[in-house]
Amino acid sequence: MKKNCSRFLFVILLAFSKGLFAQPFADILTASYQGFSADYKAPTDSLHLKNKTNNIVLNFFLPKEFKNGNMLLVRLNTETVNSTATPEYAYSYRLSAISLPLGFKFAAKNKKWETILIGIPKIASDFQDQLDKHDFQYGGIFLQQYIRSSKLKIKAGLYYNREAFGNFFVPLVGVDWKINNRIYLYGILPTNYRAEFNIVKNKLYCGLNFKSFTRSFSLSQTYNHDYVRYDEMQVKLFLDFFAYKKILVFAEAGYSIGKSPLQYKSGTEIQTRFNPVYTPLKSYPIFNVGLAYRVRLDLEK
């Protein structure tokens, strides 16, 4: 019974990951903590304030495969962003988001082409008032994949989301290339791309990761329904270690080259400093640690 359950879990993870994610692994459950500490730009420099921001992320996903190779895709994502201005004021503010991406993968009979369509309903807010139209977002992903060989996959598509600042479109393109048994390039630009090296066979991985991710959160009526936009763009070194079977411990450290969370006037792109923690920051180092239940698809038979 235990063996059958394990087989079933692997089969659905294998199919799901090959059909949806630009990576040679599947994380069925992930918990991570990301943090940074940065100085504010002028005119707040005279106050010697420092911004400390941390992200707590929990993700879960599971698909349903059909006999013809098509697949229903279900995922749950949650995020909390805590920002604090210290030490003089120790003023803090919290933003949260929850989304439920639901999609479908259509597999061609020749196994060379895969089409993925995903709808993404989302709530992103400070949750200080009752939820209203300002807090709800909707979006989607279209991704076309061409599987040339077991070592090479080409992808192209489009991401869309109705953010608090308006319509947001991102063209997607990617190449997964397994150069040899140790070196793997994979991902989708401009959102997430990795160059990975297997240090200790099947146990320890390291490499370079580029990540770019824009999202927005609606603020309460106290702040005139303004919104916070976070343009996260990072270059990081990463280390993945399988501590026990499929239990993974991971860590990342690098530098942010994007924009910190900033507050804007509702319905505009005019920046405001009504909430003191969401003001421009100097560039800053960033780190991330977490745990995952991960299946390395390139290792399974």
The residue ranges of every structural domain in the chain are 2-296
| Full-model pTM | 0.86
Whether residue 43 has a cis bond before it, omega within 30° of 0:
yes
pLDDT score, position 63: 75
pLDDT score, position 190: 93
End-to-end CA distance of the chain: 20
Q: What are phi and psi of 24, to 5 degrees?
A: -90, 30
pLDDT score, position 112: 87
CATH architecture of the domain with residue range 2-296: Beta Barrel (2.40)
pLDDT score, position 56: 97
**For residues 103 and 141, what is the distance between their CA atoms, to the nearest angstrom?**
9
**For residues 11 and 158, what is the distance between their CA atoms, to the nearest angstrom?**
28
pLDDT score, position 89: 62
pLDDT score, position 110: 80
Measured in residues, the chain has a length of: 301
Q: Going by C-beta distance under 8 Å and a sequence separation of 6 or more, which residues neighbour residue 66?
A: 72
Comparing C-alpha atoms, which of 125, 70, 136 is closest to residue 103?
Answer: 70
pLDDT tens over the chain, length 301 residues:
444 444 444 444 433 433 344 568 878 899 999 999 998 876 544 557 788 999 999 999 887 878 777 888 899 999 999 999 887 667 889 999 999 999 998 888 887 898 999 999 999 999 999 999 999 999 999 999 998 888 899 999 999 999 999 999 999 999 999 999 899 999 999 999 999 999 998 899 999 999 999 999 999 998 989 999 999 999 999 999 999 999 999 999 999 988 889 999 988 888 887 788 898 888 899 999 999 999 887 765 4
**SS3 at position 249:** strand
Q: Alpha carbon 109 to chain centroid distance?
A: 31
pLDDT score, position 17: 38
